[in-house]
Every structure is written in C-alpha cells, then in structure tokens.
Amino acid sequence: MEYLEIEGGKPLRGSVNISGAKNAAFPILSAALLMKGKMHIKNVPQILDVQHFLEILKEIGVYVERTDSGVILDTRGDISSKIKQSETHSLRGTQTLFGALIARNGKAFLPSLGGCNIGSRPIDLHIKGLRQLGANVDWSEGYLNGSADKLKGNSVYLDFPSVGATENLIIASVFAKGDTVIENGAREPEIRNLIDFLNKAGANIKMNGSGIIRIKGVKELSPVDFEIMPDRIEASTYLIMGAITGGDLAVNGVNVRDFEPVVMKLKEAGAIVDVKDNGSTVHISANDRLNAVDIKTLPYPGFPTDAQPQMMALLSISKGSSVITETIFENRFKAAKELRKMGADIKIENNMAFIKGVEKLQGATVEAGDLRGGAALITAGLAASGTTKLLNVFHVDRGYEHIEKKLQLLGGRVQRKTKNEI
C-alpha cells in the first residue's frame, strides 16, 4: 500500500498549473451520452475517480480514448442502460448517468452510490425531481431503477440546492417535451460548465444565477468538443498550502470568481493575495503565522465545504481561536482527530469545530479518512516539524492530479513510498 512521506518546514515557492475540475468532469462525461457521435473532452483530470468513471463508460458501450489533453468519446454504439455492481464503481459521480440514461434510452439501472463517508447525501431529491418529469423511479435489489417513455417538462422545486440533483435534472430534461423550470437549483460553477457544454451541443438552457434554471426541450444534440473548467478546490488547496508554509506561490489557469470566498478568508487571516491576468492567476504570500478567522460552509457562492478541512489545518497554527461551522456534511470534521495527533487543539461539538491555534505542529503518522481530509493532512504536514506519513493516500488520488509531483515542483519535500518502507 502506498503512502506519502512529508518533511515539513519548507515554504512552498513558485507556480502550479491547476487541473480540470473533478466535480465538473462527471456530469459533462455523463451528458455526452445525450449526443451520438465522436467528441473530444479536454482538460479531464487524471485522477482515480475519473479513471474509474471512464471504465464505467467503457463497460456500458462508450468508446473511450485518453489523450494528452483529455478524453475522446464515441457514443454512437449501443449503450447499456445498466451499470453493474462493483467496488470501483461506487462513485457519487455516477448519479448523473441515471438522468442521462433515462433521457437517451428511456431506462436506467444504477447501483447504490458511494464516495467519501462524510455524511448523508440522500438521493431523494433526484428521485422526486425525476418523478415530476414523468419518470418511474424505485429501488429494487440494490439498484435504483428508472424508466420513462417520454419525459415531460415541469416545474421542480428543490428543498435544498443539491448539486447532484440539479445536474441530474438538467441532463434528464434536455429532451423532455416542453419547458422545465428548476427552482432553488445549485449555482456552483460546475453547473454553469455543464450548461455551457449542453448549450454548445444545441440545448436551450438558461441560468440567471439566482437558482432558477429554465430548460426548453430539444429533439437532439450534436457532438461537440469542449474544455472542462479548472478545479476551484485544487486551486484553493494549493493557496492554503502556500499560506500555511509561509510561502510565495501562484496558481495558474483558474477563474478566481469560482473560489472567491476562500481568497477572501485567506486575506482576512492576513495573507497577501494578488489577482492577476483577469483572474486567471492568483498569487499568495505569507511571512508570518496568520490570524484566526471564523468560517461557515454554505452552498455556492458561500464558503465551499470541500475547502473546509484544509482551512482547519491552516487555522490550527494561526494566532488566536477560530470557529468553523459546517452546514453541508455532518462528518466533514474527520481530519480533526488526525490533526490532534500532530498537536492541534481542536474540539468538535455537533457541527462546530473550536480551534485554538498552536505555534507549531509535529510530524506524525496519520490516516486519510476521505479525500479533502487527506488534503488537509498533507497541508498540515508541509508546515509541521519533522516527518509526517500519510496513510490511505488513495483517498487523495481520487481528486488531486499528481499531487506529490506538483508539490515537489514548489519545493515541497514529499515522496510517495510503499508501506513496507515505513
């Protein structure tokens, strides 16, 4: 089993190119099933979750070819409506295949969903919305079964602005007869990226930024080439890593508006942040310990829950006391236990973390329990005294492309090793 060995205490310096967004790749690759033809999806990140997702596409009949800049898909063949049960297929990203397969084939069979164990992420909003579009949806023998002779446009109100449900409903309603209106839909940048892809292919979707999305059904889409947006959470992670190490680094190829809440909190904490090139480059520097700040996670445009554990690591050595309120996932504080092994002073009460900044963390052997928690422990290890060994690094590989190589280019002392070397 692989792990990362991190020698802390060295400021990160230089620049890092940000990869394509994990959370945009899944819905766009799913939506490609609505088009019958060959297309080049660019900037697809080379990460474990996407690799598994592409294997699923191959198994249901899509031709998939990796390129240096992305993935070539050919969706002209017969596409199976059933995704087989498999441990490697237990991805949250597969949820958008459900709406895509119903829209393309009139039926879909999806095994139970997986992803990080960070809290309940119910599929009920997906089911409720698809039923309002005329689909028959139920559970049977571990599968979510859906069918519809012809989906029909309708008004759908989401009780919570779920990203996955919004994406599924957008994809499913592209061919629905008439007009669909999604109210209280998610507003994340990844939603915009999906809509841009579908509109380029011939869909008629309008998003006004207020959570209302209007879709006029069309008869067909044409295959198009498309580029996936940069990963705002990867960009946020490297900025936080630069701040915690007292570094001087820039993230390139981004859209700063996508992660502005993170930038603003880093500024509030005392980091020097400079936005350049019309928001496509963000430079950060920090010469001293930063100051405590309070954070509350919220759906976009609020502070992203996916960047919260990394900020927890930063605040664990900031001056003063901080409070993090987590409103999205109830198990998002899993990294706190491991950070305490490194000397952090963190107390968890319900959905709140109370953090008293210590002057220094100490290297330790810690275990990633989920994707973003793993990134938080790497963040802490980069600033800690001594050596940190991060076990279960596969969690990090699910969402970060070549993380140790990128950190090495920034001067980070990070090496990937096998468990028998511990």
What is the reported pLDDT for 122? 66
Q: CA angle, corner 93, sides to 231 and 149, nearest 5? A: 130
pLDDT average, residue stretch 320-327: 97
pLDDT average, residue stretch 307-313: 98
User: Could you write out the DSSP letters of every residue in 23-76?
Assistant: HHHHHHHHHGGGB-SEEEEES----HHHHHHHHHHHHTT-EEEE-SSEEEEE--
Element at 383 (helix H, strand E): helix 371-383
What is the reported pLDDT for 78? 97
- Among 8-22, 294-308, 354-368, 408-422, where is mean pLDDT lowest? 408-422
Model confidence band, residue 421 (pLDDT cutoffs 50, 70, 90) = low
This prediction's pTM: 0.96
pLDDT (tens digit per residue) in 328-385: 988 889 999 999 999 999 999 999 999 999 999 999 999 999 999 999 999 999 999 9
Amino acid identity for residue 329 in this structure: F
pLDDT (tens digit per residue) in 122-171: 689 999 999 999 999 999 888 999 999 999 999 999 999 999 999 999 99
pLDDT averaged over every residue in the chain: 95
116 is catalytic: yes
Question: Dihedral through CA 261, CA 263, CA 264, CA 267, nearest 10?
Answer: 160
CB atoms within 10 A of CB 157: 12
Identify the three-state secondary structure at position 311.
helix
What is the reported pLDDT for 90? 56
| Predicted confidence (pLDDT) at residue 89 exceeds the cutoff of 80 | no
Model confidence band, residue 420 (pLDDT cutoffs 50, 70, 90) = confident
Count the residues in the chain.
Answer: 422
CB atoms within 10 A of CB 9: 16
Rounded to 10 deg, the angle between the 308-315 and 232-244 helix axes is 10
Token representation of residue 297 = 């996670």
Distances (CA, A) of 40 to 49, 174, 410: 19, 21, 31
The Cα–Cα gap between 41 and 403 comes to 22
User: Could you write out the DSSP letters of every residue in 6-36?
Assistant: EE-----EEEEE--B-HHHHHHHHHHGGGB-
Domains of the chain with bracketed CATH: 2-19+230-421 (3.65.10.10), 22-227 (3.65.10.10)
What is the reported pLDDT for 119? 46
pLDDT (tens digit per residue) in 45-84: 999 999 999 999 999 999 999 999 899 999 999 999 999 8
The answer to whether 136 and 144 are in contact (CB under 8 A) is no
Pick from 351, 349, 303: which is nearest to 325 by CA? 351
The Cα–Cα gap between 384 and 413 comes to 12
Cis peptide before 301 (omega within 30 of 0): yes
User: Could you write out the DSSP letters of every residue in 170-230?
Assistant: HHHHTTSBSEEEEES----HHHHHHHHHHHHTT-EEEE-SSS-EEEE--S-B----EEPPB
Residues 125, 128, 130, 136: is their CA dihedral positive or negative?
positive
Question: Dihedral through CA 49, CA 91, CA 233, CA 385, nearest 10?
Answer: -70
Q: Provide, rounded to the nearest whole percent, the portion of the chain with pLDDT above 90.
A: 90
Pick from 246, 245, 237: which is nearest to 282 by CA? 237
Identify the three-state secondary structure at position 84.
coil
Is 282 exposed, middle or buried (CB count within 10 Å of its CB: 0-12, 13-18, 19+)? buried
Pick from 288, 289, 284, 262: which is nearest to 274 by CA? 284
Selecting among 116, 144, 228, 233, the annotated active-site residue is 116
